[in-house]
Structure 1
Amino acid sequence: MPLNGAGPGAGGPGGVPRNEFGWNFFNADGTRQMAIQGPGHRKFGNPGPLGLISFASTTLILSLVNVNARGVKEPNIVIGMALGVGGLAQLLAGMWEFACGNTFGATAFSSYGGFWFAYASVLIPGTGILDAYNGTTDLDNALGFFLLAWFIFTFIMLMASLRSNLGLVLLFFFLDLTFMFLMIGSFLPAKVNITKAGGGFGIVTAFIAYYVGASELIPREAGYFTLPVYQLPRRD
């Protein structure tokens, strides 16, 4: 795996080389750093698993509602997860990715953390957002606009992930399909099956995020097995 910035003052904090698209920092011999290595020699841990698993859990719950699993149709159960896990935990992971020098991870986690805060604010009674539409078809179109913006952003993230690893590419690909089908379902509210298809793709997205997050949480030197994400070729 190629390293980025192996000399003093390059790469991550303290001149530690880093993987340009991955979630981890690496030592000069290619091994992963541990979070803390003795008193007075503290290094950043890997915020990737926190962001990925937080995203996966919140996405899974909302997607189960979108497919009407067990007859549940109201999405309000996701408010707490959207605020505390999908929102706050992901935003914190994004800020630590900035500190680790990973612009890609920082942009992804911070933005999708903001997405969950924004989505929760729509559902929370008292914000006045839903009341302003008073149950008209304008609400469906407005939600379509909201999802359109995230469809475009996710497509940009998909393009940015193409030289990272297959796990991330599949994650953003299925997430973009999720936003696309939910957006179409909002613009065509009578087509309930389109929204359910978006929920189905969301479930797939959630489990891919769980897998990629678990692959980062179980490093080679700390686990009995590893989960491959298949690194893709990078430019020389």
Structure 2
Amino acid sequence: MAEQTKIADPGPLGLAGFGITTCILSLINAGVISAGALGVVLGLALAYGGGAQFIAGMWEFRKGNTFGATAFSSYGAFWIAFYFIEKAAPPAGLGVFLLFFGILTLFLWIGTFYLNRALFFVFLTLWLAFFLLAFHGFGVMGSQPGGWVGLICGLTALYTSFATVINATAGKTILPLGRPVARS
């Protein structure tokens, strides 16, 4: 009988790639740092937010985690697409792009009701940020509200990544992730 090889949890890698890329872009959207820093975001969007997150999604497929596979693969692809379209797309086109990722995120947020509270808040703030930034793309409002909500989202994703790594390394709960919102 073949020996079963255990693989590490790819979730923290995906959350870290998402969190760092989201935080830096959100600081630009919130007006905290100059739009001239967008080159940093684009590099991260391709390599870390896109590439590493997409790979994490593929490993989630291997683990049999449908939610993680869908989320990480989708947001990895989002960041790769963002790299290619950010400067080329008209604002309304970027608004439609963000709107549909907001809809996807709203649906995935419902799935987090059965996961932990940390992921619940990551996805709650993410769909809100997507909708706010889509409204910015449509010329309805400035980017600042979406930037601030996105920053909260990115920081929450980084906390969730860090807590998962620390808890797995320690073999016990050091940093809480919270119980699911809905009981199965």
TM-score, normalised on structure 1?
0.72
% identity of equivalent residues: 39
The Cα shift of 1:221 comes to: 6.0
Q: 1:73 aligns with which of 32, 35, 38?
A: 35
Q: Which structure's residues are more often helix, by fraction?
A: 2
**CA distance 1:57–1:220, change in 2 (3 Å):** closer
Sort the Cα spacing of 1:185 and 1:96 in 2 relative to 1 into closer, same or farther, 3 A: same
Do the aligned partners of 1:76 and 1:123 also contact (CA within 8 Å) in 2? no
Partner of 2:158: 210
* Contact 1:175/1:202 (8 A) holds in 2: yes
- 1:61 corresponds, among 24, 47, 52, to 24
Report the equivalent of 1:150. Answer: 101
Change (3 A) 1:140 1:220: closer
Question: How many residues are paired up?
Answer: 181
Provide structure 1 residue ranges, at least 5 long, that are not aligned to the other structure: 1-13, 15-39, 131-138
Note if 1:119 corresponds to 2:87.
no
Change (3 A) 1:110 1:56: same
Runs of 4+ in 1 over 4 A off after TM superposition: none
The answer to whether the Cα contact below 8 Å between 2:86 and 2:94 also exists between their aligned partners in 1 is no
- The alpha carbon displacement at 1:215 in A equals 1.4
- Deviation of 1:42 after TM superposition, in Å, equals 2.8
* In structure 2, distance between residues paired with 1:85 and 1:73: 20
Q: Partner of 2:73 in structure 1? A: 110
Q: Is the 8 A contact 1:157 1:172 kept in 2?
A: yes
In structure 2, the CA distance between the partners of 1:224 and 1:110, relative to structure 1 (3 Å rule), is closer
**1:92 correspondence with 2:55:** yes
Shift of residue 76, structure 1, vs aligned partner: 3.0
Q: Distance in 2 between matches of 1:234 and 1:51?
A: 26
Structure 1 or 2, whichever has the larger Rg, is 1
Q: Where in structure 2 are the equivalents of 1:218-229 lying within 5 Å?
A: 218-219=166-167, 222=170, 226-229=174-177
Letter in 2 for 1:160: G
Question: Cα gap change, 1:217/1:148 in structure 2, threshold over 3 Å: closer, same or farther?
Answer: same
Paired amino acid for 2:105: T
Structure 2 gap segments, 5+ residues each? none
